[in-house]
């Protein structure tokens, strides 16, 4: 950032954001994109809960209700939770390891645009009035049976977004393996970087199965395939296996970065080194491996037979062990710490009991015989919301408050942050705790309405009130964000005052080349070590300041994705229209042309000169005094 | 573009790198001969089986061929693609994880999907 804010026109700013390959800006794009879809998914959730507030309600029709639950789940997992976590990974992880950017800035931007266009594609289904309606799991017999283009939107939209996710994952892996600053050994990496690493490795292995499954589904629905059609020799169960071979790792891809965020927050605000760092790393890796061995626990009732069920039940329960290790390490990190209850810390403290409850219900469901009772009941809904909202969403909110100053250079209001927490946290438990009992009392999940006199009325009413409270909390947060942005009070390097990791050693937001000179890392909690030694500059440079080589921005990633987006519509309409095939070919050709341009035209990048860096340094110093 | 940087080697470094190169060449050639030998043996075994030479039954040849194939894959990866050299720990971990999943997932499919 040539920190003198140059006044530039709206067009230039827009162009800058469309073409950016800077990891910090892409991080912000991911975060805002994720927030947008979080709002959409949230509105869908509110309508679902309002429909279920009383028995025999007819706020929405049964068909629309199916659309709503499907889009709610799909949006929340693929378009809200993952992108927001990617936002933090992009913005923060390179800073934590002392890198100037991710390994492949161009691919990073491509990953973002694929997410954005994939999400757009999915949601355009609302305009067509033909919306995915077979649940976020889209089980094959049902999804093949679904009329209209709804499921086509699901298959193609997720294919595009999923490709972006895979690219982002590979990019993070290469970045962490190759671009750590001198001295940043694996066992000195902050936990958020570690969890990013393991989650990315899981993406690498889990997303190809999803890609294949979605292609099968696409062929079955749009190109006359019969992979899942048993009347033609296909097998409908394969979809379930493929989906869950992806799906279970996916839930850990979501929760591991959340664990990483909380690990940072705990040690910063307890002002203690993370307890059991080695055990934490080991547990993260172990969870990553075990996460691939348990997918069939989603299919206990399919009829795999007692042997298979027993094996998968035992494997499932094994995951609870490393998870437990983590919980105890967090507790022991807080233990005896000098605790500062800031907003992020509040979320972290709320996370522990909430997530433990979700873990316990998970182990209950992991017991195959019991799962025959629980499966497809509201108990399942309660379980996964306890882990996903009580784990992932709380972590996203914690990360949002914790890293907001680093990403935007302003500090979210603490009082409003705490108000958000209270409304959201109380609302969350109000909504989902009672759903465990709704499950016990026999209410099935994914039902449009229910009849009077089954003893479910009060519980459903309470649940809806809780959802309203969550919505109020979220609204307060949005107000907080808007107010903070308008006030625009700039903050320094380490606004929390207790930062331990490298990102807090540089300005907020950092200059676009991050580090004037690559830092030398001398141990875990790099910045903390410097602070303890009374270092003034807070960074020990590993090299003299020299010219820095940076990549140019590029519009090509967006155009490349646009081609796929167009091809998607072609694939969808080629059966009933004459122009479909042409559009499909045009879209793909367009993408290939952009790929060719990218390959043939080298981007040689440019240099930030030493003089400019020194000048920036000087400006920053002068600004500080 | 001043991307390329020239660093002079000291005589000691030069001779060390020459020795390294020589050693790696020697092992490459040795392994290449071994692989050709294994291939020859494999073909001869099948040829012997086709000509009803006693002792070369199907049940002996097929497992042996698989064993040889595994050895060859290992040699290919470790010697020709240099996985035995330093700095390949991470790629190895990812490859083995992938291979393990690539083995386990189909295994479960044949045992519990199409049982
Ligand atoms: C101790 C760890 C966990 C165990 C033992 C566990 C176990 C289970 C089991 C057995 C099911 C299937 C229940 C059924 O459909 O009958 C399930 C469902 C689910 N779990 Fe977990 N789980 C754990 C952690 C998590 C985490 C960390 C997440 C997400 C962050 C998660 C998300 C989900 C979701 C989304 C479903 C529902 C999928 C669907 O049918 O739509 N779980 N869990
Ligand atoms: Cu699972």
Query: Residue A428 in contact with residue A466, Cβ under 8 Å?
Result: yes
Q: What is the pLDDT of residue A216?
A: 96
Question: In this structure, is the dihedral angle defined by the CA atoms of residues A59, A62, A65 and A71, taken in order, positive or negative?
Answer: negative
Mean of the pLDDT values across residues A154-177?
96
Residue B109 has its nearest CB partner, among A204, A241, A292, at A241
- Distance (Å) from the C-alpha of residue B3 to the closest C-alpha of chain A? 9
Q: Which residues, at least 6 apart from A442, have a Cβ–Cβ distance to it below 8 Å?
A: A377, A454
The string over B70-81, giving b where at least 16 C-beta atoms fall within 10 Å of a residue's C-beta and e elsewhere, is eebeebebbbee
Residue B1's pLDDT is 40
Chain B: residue nearest A606 by CA? B1
What residue owns the CA closest to ligand 1's atom 6?
A362
Q: Tokens at residue A332, please?
A: 């022991």
| Contact at CB, B1 and A604, closer than 8 angstroms | yes
**Residue B84: band (very low, low, confident or very high) from pLDDT cuts 50, 70, 90:** confident
Contact between B72 and B31 (Cβ < 8 Å): no
End-to-end CA distance of chain B: 62
- Res. A412 pLDDT band, cuts 50 70 90: very high
- Mean pLDDT value of segment A166-182: 96
Mean pLDDT, to the nearest integer, of A202-230?
Answer: 95
Structure letter (DSSP) for residue A552 = P
Least confident of A252-256, A406-410, A549-553: A549-553
Report chain A's mean pLDDT, rounded to a whole number. 94
Tell me the C-alpha distance between A597 and A591, whole Å: 10
Per-residue pLDDT tens over the stretch A578-610: 999 999 999 999 999 999 999 998 888 899 999
Given a cut of 50, whether residue B46 has pLDDT beyond it is: yes
Nearest of A184, A211, A183 to residue A197 by alpha carbon: A184
Q: What ipTM, to 2 d.p.?
A: 0.81
Is the bond preceding A509 in cis, omega lying within 30 degrees of 0? yes
Q: Does B109 touch chain A (CB under 8 A)?
A: yes
The pTM is what? 0.91
What does chain A come to in residues?
A: 625
- Indicate the CATH number of A10-554+603-624 among 1.20.210.10, 3.40.50.720, 1.10.3720.10, 1.20.58.1690: 1.20.210.10
What span, in angstroms and rounded, lies between the C-alpha atoms of A80 and A32? 10
Instruction: Render pLDDT for A78-98 as a digit per residue (tens, 0 to 9).
Output: 999 999 999 999 999 999 999
Place of tokens 């000179």: A517
Contacts (Cβ under 8 Å, ≥6 apart) of B84: B78
CB A112 within 8 A of CB A30: yes
Cα-flanking dihedrals φ and ψ of residue B101, to 5°?
A: -65, -40
Taking 90 as the threshold, does the pLDDT of residue A130 lie above it? yes
Size (chain B), residues:
115
pLDDT above 90 for A536: no
Phi, psi of A377 (to 5 degrees): -110, 175
Shortest distance, CA B51 to any CA of chain A (angstroms) = 41
pLDDT bracket for residue A4 (50, 70, 90) = very low
Evaluate the CA torsion angle A184, A188, A193, A199 in order and state its sign: positive
pLDDT at B113 (0 to 100):
72
Q: Ligand 1: residues within 6 Å at CB?
A: A 137, 251, 254-255, 297-298, 316, 319-320, 323, 359, 362-363, 365-366, 371, 374-375, 380, 383-384, 387-388, 391-392
> How far apart are the C-alpha atoms of A168 and A170, rounded to whole Å?
6
Q: A189 and A523 in contact (C-beta within 8 Å)? A: no
């Amino acid at each position: 950032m040539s920190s003198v804010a140059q006044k530039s026109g709206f067009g230039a700013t827009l162009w800058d954001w469309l073409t950016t390959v800077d990891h910090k800006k892409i991080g912000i794009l991911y975060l805002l994109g994720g927030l947008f879809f979080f709002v959409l998914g949230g509105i869908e959730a509110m309508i679902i809960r309002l429909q279920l507030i009383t028995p025999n309600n007819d706020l929405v029709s049964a068909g629309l209700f199916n659309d709503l639950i499907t889009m709610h789940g799909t949006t929340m997992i693929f378009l809200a939770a993952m992108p927001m976590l990617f936002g933090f990974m992009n913005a923060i992880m390179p800073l934590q390891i002392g890198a100037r950017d991710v390994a492949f800035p161009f691919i990073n931007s491509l990953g973002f645009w694929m997410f954005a266009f994939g999400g757009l594609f999915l949601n355009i289904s609302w305009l067509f009035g033909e919306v995915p309606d077979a649940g976020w799991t889209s089980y094959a017999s049902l999804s093949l049976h679904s009329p209209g283009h709804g499921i086509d939107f699901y298959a193609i939209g997720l294919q595009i977004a999923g490709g972006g996710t895979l690219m982002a994952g590979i990019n993070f892996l290469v970045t962490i393996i190759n671009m750590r600053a001198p001295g940043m050994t694996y066992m000195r990496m902050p936990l958020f970087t570690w969890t990013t690493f393991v989650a990315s490795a899981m993406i690498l292995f889990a997303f190809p199965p999803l890609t294949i499954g979605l292609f099968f589904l696409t062929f079955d629905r749009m190109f006359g395939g019969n992979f899942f059609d048993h009347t033609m020799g296909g097998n409908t169960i394969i979809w379930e296996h493929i989906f869950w071979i992806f799906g279970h790792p996916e839930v850990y891809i979501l929760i591991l970065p959340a664990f990483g965020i909380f690990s940072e927050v705990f040690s910063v605000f307890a002002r203690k080194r993370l307890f059991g760092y080695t055990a934490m790393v080991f547990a993260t890796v172990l969870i990553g491996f075990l996460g691939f061995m348990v997918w069939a626990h989603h299919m206990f009732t399919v009829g795999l037979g007692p042997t298979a069920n027993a094996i998968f039940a035992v494997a499932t329960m094994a995951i609870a062990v490393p998870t437990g290790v983590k919980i105890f390490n967090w507790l022991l990190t807080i233990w005896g710490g000098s605790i500062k209850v800031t907003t992020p810390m509040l979320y972290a403290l709320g996370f522990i009991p909430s997530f433990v409850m979700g873990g316990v219900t998970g182990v209950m469901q992991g017991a195959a015989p019991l799962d025959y009772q629980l499966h497809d009941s509201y108990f399942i809904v309660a379980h996964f919301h306890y882990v996903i909202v009580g784990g992932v969403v709380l972590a996203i909110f914690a990360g949002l408050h914790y890293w907001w100053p680093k990403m935007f250079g302003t500090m979210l209001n603490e009082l409003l942050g705490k108000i958000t927490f209270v409304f959201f946290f109380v609302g969350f438990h109000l909504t989902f705790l009672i759903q465990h009992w709704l499950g016990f009392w026999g209410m099935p999940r994914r039902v449009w309405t229910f009849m009077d006199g089954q003893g479910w009325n009060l519980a459903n009413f309470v649940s809806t009130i809780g959802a309203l409270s969550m919505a109020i909390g979220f609204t307060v947060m949005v107000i907080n964000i808007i107010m903070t942005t308008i006030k625009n009070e700039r903050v320094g390097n380490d606004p929390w005052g207790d930062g331990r990791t490298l990102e807090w050693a540089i300005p907020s937001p950092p200059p676009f080349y991050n580090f004037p000179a690559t830092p030398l890392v001398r141990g875990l909690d790099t910045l903390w070590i410097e602070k303890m030694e009374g270092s003034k500059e807070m960074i020990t440079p590993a090299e003299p300041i020299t010219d820095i080589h940076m990549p140019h921005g590029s519009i090509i990633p967006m155009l490349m994705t646009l081609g796929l987006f167009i091809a998607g519509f072609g694939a969808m309409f080629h059966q009933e229209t004459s122009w479909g095939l042409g559009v499909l070919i045009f879209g793909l050709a367009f993408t290939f042309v952009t790929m060719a341009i990218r390959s043939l035209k080298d981007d040689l990048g440019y240099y930030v000169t030493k003089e400019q860096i020194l000048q920036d340094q000087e400006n920053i110093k002068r600004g500080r005094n | 573009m001043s991307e390329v940087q020239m660093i002079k080697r000291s005589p000691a470094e030069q001779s060390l790198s020459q020795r390294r190169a020589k050693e790696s060449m020697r092992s490459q050639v040795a392994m290449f001969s071994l692989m050709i030998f294994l291939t020859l043996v494999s073909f001869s075994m099948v040829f012997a089986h086709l000509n009803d030479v006693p002792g070369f039954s199907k049940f002996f040849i097929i497992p042996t061929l698989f064993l040889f194939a595994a050895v060859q894959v290992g040699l290919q990866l470790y010697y020709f693609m240099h996985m035995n050299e330093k700095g390949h720990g991470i790629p190895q971990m990812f490859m083995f994880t992938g291979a393990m999943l690539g083995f386990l997932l189909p295994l479960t499919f044949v045992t519990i999907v199409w049982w």
